[in-house]
Structure 1
Amino acid sequence: MSVEFRTLTAPDEVNAAFRVFLRAMVGLPFRDVDATEITEAGRYLGALDGGEVVAGADSYTSRLVVPGGARVPHAAVTHVGVLPTHRRRGIVSRLMERQLRDAAGRGEAVATLRASEAVIYERFGYGVASSAQPARVTLDRARLRPEVPAGGKVRLADRTATVELLAGVYERAAWTGAIDRPDGWWRLQQRLRESDTVAHYVAVHSTGGVDDGYAIYHPLDTSGWFTSSERVVAVTDFVALNDGARAGLWRHLFSLDLIDVVAFDSLALDDPLPLAVTDRRSVALGPPRDETWLRLVDVGAALEARAYGSEETVVLQVSDPLLPGNDGAYEIGPKGVTRTTAAADLGTDVATLAAAYLGGTRWRHLAATGRVAVHDPGAVGRIDALFAVDALPFSGTVF
């Protein structure tokens, strides 16, 4: 095969790769956007056949919040696609493997992506590390409990919600699974809102004069808006840095005139919203779906970055066919992680470790399905306690 693999640097090649991505996704509309303005220089990998870009794999420089609050260097993988004419030739595999080596060379401990198909990425060492769910709140039945915090001040910032304002709030997001949103991500979101024919509204919450949350929402199906029996607004980005901000934004959304349903695109699986209303059935939770697909690029650095419970140590043997430098045994305990030559209590592959890394998947469930080699049965309970988290991981960012 004469396909050439390299980093794309020329603007026309970057734009060609982005068009390949849109075509490969089929369901995404073609948009008039200069891809060089929404991507990061030096990170777009391409496959070229006869000088024509036929596939690409992109990423952003970012950080991921892990249990304990540390932010680890992170590659946000996106824009992966191959033309239909060049499928099943191993092109995407070559790109993904090259991308992992590049991330390792940059010192990025982890990579994450959002998968268009659920059977592609595990073979590259990715595992589902967080899930999310949509929710629909029926407003004529939804009443917040009197104990719910009053929240602070909410202002509408539809015309003044600059990237700097929203990014200034979001950059303090510290829940497990949150990622840094790169500049290109913000520019793309702003472009999409500005090009939409439907109005997008921005409500910003502040406590004591400090902005600490916001919600972006827009109406659905506006062609028959004033005669519709069910008027719905979709909340596409909901960021709350504390309980007061979350409650204040709820109060704003649930008091909107003319609205019958508030539909949240994405909530954590343990979001407290159903507990905040007097009629729990007014909140209809949709089916959970995979959100963060995580890859440990540097297993040792990633394991050392997160916090652990107080249980006794466990020796975990890890195998990584694509990055063999990760192969080996790791002693994991409340005081940290070290490489060891001791006999392993448990063994697994890097994709399974990734699924458990943020605490969103229990080790006992992985062991029960045969994805963990158990040499010491007591170690399953110990590693579950070591990896336990107070809140389920959640990103809330699509890229």
Structure 2
Amino acid sequence: MTIDIDVLSEEADIRAAQRIFRTAMVGLPPAPESDGLNEPGRTLGARVDGELVGTANSYTSRLVVPGGDRIPHAAVTHVGVLPTHARRGVVTALLRRQLSDLAARGEAVATLRASQGGIYDRFGYAVASSAARVEIDRGRARLRDTVPPSGPVRFLDPGRMWDSLPTIYATADVSWPGAIDRPSYWWRMQELFSGTTGYTVVHGSPGSEDGFARYHPIHAPGWARGSSERVVVVDDLVATTPRSYAGLIRHLLAADVVDRIVLAAVAPDDPLRHLLTDERAITVTDVRDETWLRLIDVPVALSRRTYRDAGPIVLAVDDDLLTANTGTYRIAGDGARRVDLPADLTADVAALAAVYLGGSTWRQLASAGRVTGHRPGAIDAADSLFVTVARPFSGTWF
């Protein structure tokens, strides 16, 4: 069987690729036929005997790394193969070609959100951040008197929502490690699938907003008659200052007719419980992998993040797919660079991705045999360099 991979340019092929992805995912609703969902030149198609059977695409974006720098980033999405052609090497051919293309574009990293956990490690991806699902018992939740005052919170006109939110996200200081740019294609997808259902509020004066929240009710019988199962789900919460975070949480808690508030995805170290007089008003119902990270250009990626002021290490990196990354790198508080020196520890590119944003530690990987130390104290030295104050978190699903 011959698998041919090419870049799809015809609109009919791109829409066929969209249908292939949704067919492969089985449980997704049909996608509305619409332009503006795919960035030109980034949709790959896999053909077997001339038939389009698989696809993968990506968006141009940037990723915030420890220290606050934003590095060139590919948001990889819509990876799928028809069930009739599964387990025949189609995904392997697609992702190998995609990695080569991303490297040629000069993108330093790629991330994706995985529907299955056992696929992407062999392509150099690793879980680099996690997200928690949190439920608030609104009847028990009271803000502490110490919570800072917030600015104005107002509802957005549903008809203007999808014009306003991209501007707010782009101009607010979205700078936590793991955050990514949201391209127009991402926003168009949100508009098509979310429409104007639910409610959207923003924090801050017009023109200087620093946060927003989108939420919707889960309609239950008896909502208007005092049901005890009135639930609101927060689909997207972006707060770039303590004041905006407090203001948006204060707004959500203000609705007396709501019994439970579900935050669909927050950082594992989200400060919410510290805002409340009774921390038991919050239940973490799930913690799951969020960002799967692949380092496309290891020298650039290592040089663009910051490190703690600790003793240097020499790290040997193995990358079987993008072999230009294979080599040794000196990493210290003043930065990272490629060197020709004996290694203190060795890791493959996926292990490096796991610790790159600070979501895992070198010690955790060493306990699993994923990192090899070549001198006493090398693992601890690496952790001293890579440790971050905040856990990485993206908050953007694609």
TM bucket (normalised to shorter chain) is over 0.9
**Distance of 2:120 and 2:137 partners within structure 1:** 37
Paired position in structure 2 for 1:76? 75
Q: Helix, strand or coil: the match of 1:47?
A: strand
Paired position in structure 2 for 1:219? 217
Q: TM-score, normalised by structure 2?
A: 0.97
Per-residue deviation at 1:365?
Answer: 1.1
Q: Helix, strand or coil: the match of 1:303?
A: helix
Find out whether 1:177 has 2:174 as its counterpart.
Answer: no
**Distance of 1:207 and 1:358 partners within structure 2:** 33
Q: TM-score, normalised by structure 1?
A: 0.96
AA in 2 matched with 1:343: P
Gaps of 5+ in 1: none
Structure 2 residue aligned with 1:210, among 200, 208, 211?
Answer: 208
AA in 1 matched with 2:69: A
Q: Helix, strand or coil: the match of 1:173?
A: coil
Per-residue deviation at 1:340?
Answer: 1.2
AA in 2 matched with 1:337: A
Per-residue deviation at 1:230?
Answer: 1.0
Find out whether 1:316 has 2:315 as its counterpart.
Answer: yes
Mapped contact 2:161–2:200 kept (Cα < 8 A): no
Find out whether 1:2 has 2:13 as its counterpart.
Answer: no
Per-residue deviation at 1:287?
Answer: 2.3
Paired position in structure 1 for 2:24? 24
**Structure 1 range deviating more: 370-379 or 178-187:** 370-379
Structure 1 pair 208/39, CA: closer, same or farther in 2 (3 Å)?
closer
Mapped contact 1:296–1:350 kept (Cα < 8 A): yes
**Distance of 2:206 and 2:382 partners within structure 1:** 42
Deviations 1:264-315 (A, max 9, x none): 0001000000111011110111221000000000001000000000001100
Q: Helix, strand or coil: the match of 2:42?
A: coil
**Structure 1 range deviating more: 228-237 or 120-129:** 228-237
Mapped contact 1:218–1:235 kept (Cα < 8 A): yes
Q: Helix, strand or coil: the match of 1:253?
A: helix
Per-residue deviation at 1:208?
Answer: 8.6
AA in 1 matched with 2:156: A
Mapped contact 1:75–1:112 kept (Cα < 8 A): yes
AA in 2 matched with 1:84: P
Q: Helix, strand or coil: the match of 2:396?
A: coil
**Distance of 2:118 and 2:328 partners within structure 1:** 28
Q: Helix, strand or coil: the match of 1:59?
A: strand
**Distance of 2:33 and 2:314 partners within structure 1:** 50
Q: Helix, strand or coil: the match of 1:142?
A: coil
Paired position in structure 2 for 1:201? 199
Q: Helix, strand or coil: the match of 1:216?
A: strand
Q: Helix, strand or coil: the match of 1:286?
A: strand
**Distance of 1:209 and 1:397 partners within structure 2:** 23
Paired position in structure 2 for 1:15? 15
Paired position in structure 1 for 2:292? 293
Per-residue deviation at 1:31?
Answer: 2.5
**Distance of 1:15 and 1:215 partners within structure 2:** 31
Mapped contact 1:177–1:358 kept (Cα < 8 A): yes
Q: Helix, strand or coil: the match of 1:148?
A: coil
Per-residue deviation at 1:3?
Answer: 2.9
Structure 1 pair 209/153, CA: closer, same or farther in 2 (3 Å)?
farther
**Distance of 2:6 and 2:137 partners within structure 1:** 51
Mapped contact 1:158–1:200 kept (Cα < 8 A): no
**Distance of 2:20 and 2:109 partners within structure 1:** 26
Paired position in structure 1 for 2:63? 64
Paired position in structure 1 for 2:110? 111
Deviations 1:59-97 (A, max 9, x none): 000000000000000000000000000011101001001
Mapped contact 1:139–1:261 kept (Cα < 8 A): yes
Alignment of 1:126-165 (within 5 A): 126-165=125-164
Paired position in structure 2 for 1:41? 40
Q: Helix, strand or coil: the match of 2:358?
A: coil
AA in 2 matched with 1:190: E
Paired position in structure 1 for 2:245? 246
AA in 2 matched with 1:210: S
**Structure 1 range deviating more: 211-220 or 166-175:** 166-175
Per-residue deviation at 1:163?
Answer: 2.9
**Distance of 2:327 and 2:222 partners within structure 1:** 61
**Distance of 2:294 and 2:285 partners within structure 1:** 27
Deviations 1:113-136 (A, max 9, x none): 000001100000001000011000
Q: Helix, strand or coil: the match of 1:77?
A: strand
Mapped contact 1:48–1:54 kept (Cα < 8 A): yes
Mapped contact 2:32–2:192 kept (Cα < 8 A): no
**Structure 1 range deviating more: 275-284 or 200-209:** 200-209
Q: Helix, strand or coil: the match of 2:209?
A: strand
Mapped contact 1:56–1:79 kept (Cα < 8 A): yes
AA in 2 matched with 1:14: I
AA in 1 matched with 2:141: A
Alignment of 1:346-361 (within 5 A): 346-361=345-360
Paired position in structure 2 for 1:276? 275
Aligned length: 395
AA in 1 matched with 2:76: V
Structure 1 pair 243/207, CA: closer, same or farther in 2 (3 Å)?
farther
Mapped contact 2:3–2:93 kept (Cα < 8 A): no
Mapped contact 1:152–1:208 kept (Cα < 8 A): no
Find out whether 1:51 has 2:50 as its counterpart.
Answer: yes
Q: Helix, strand or coil: the match of 2:214?
A: strand
Mapped contact 1:346–1:376 kept (Cα < 8 A): yes
**Distance of 1:186 and 1:242 partners within structure 2:** 23
Structure 1 pair 26/296, CA: closer, same or farther in 2 (3 Å)?
same
Query: Cα RMSD between the aligned structures?
Result: 1.3
**Distance of 2:6 and 2:159 partners within structure 1:** 41
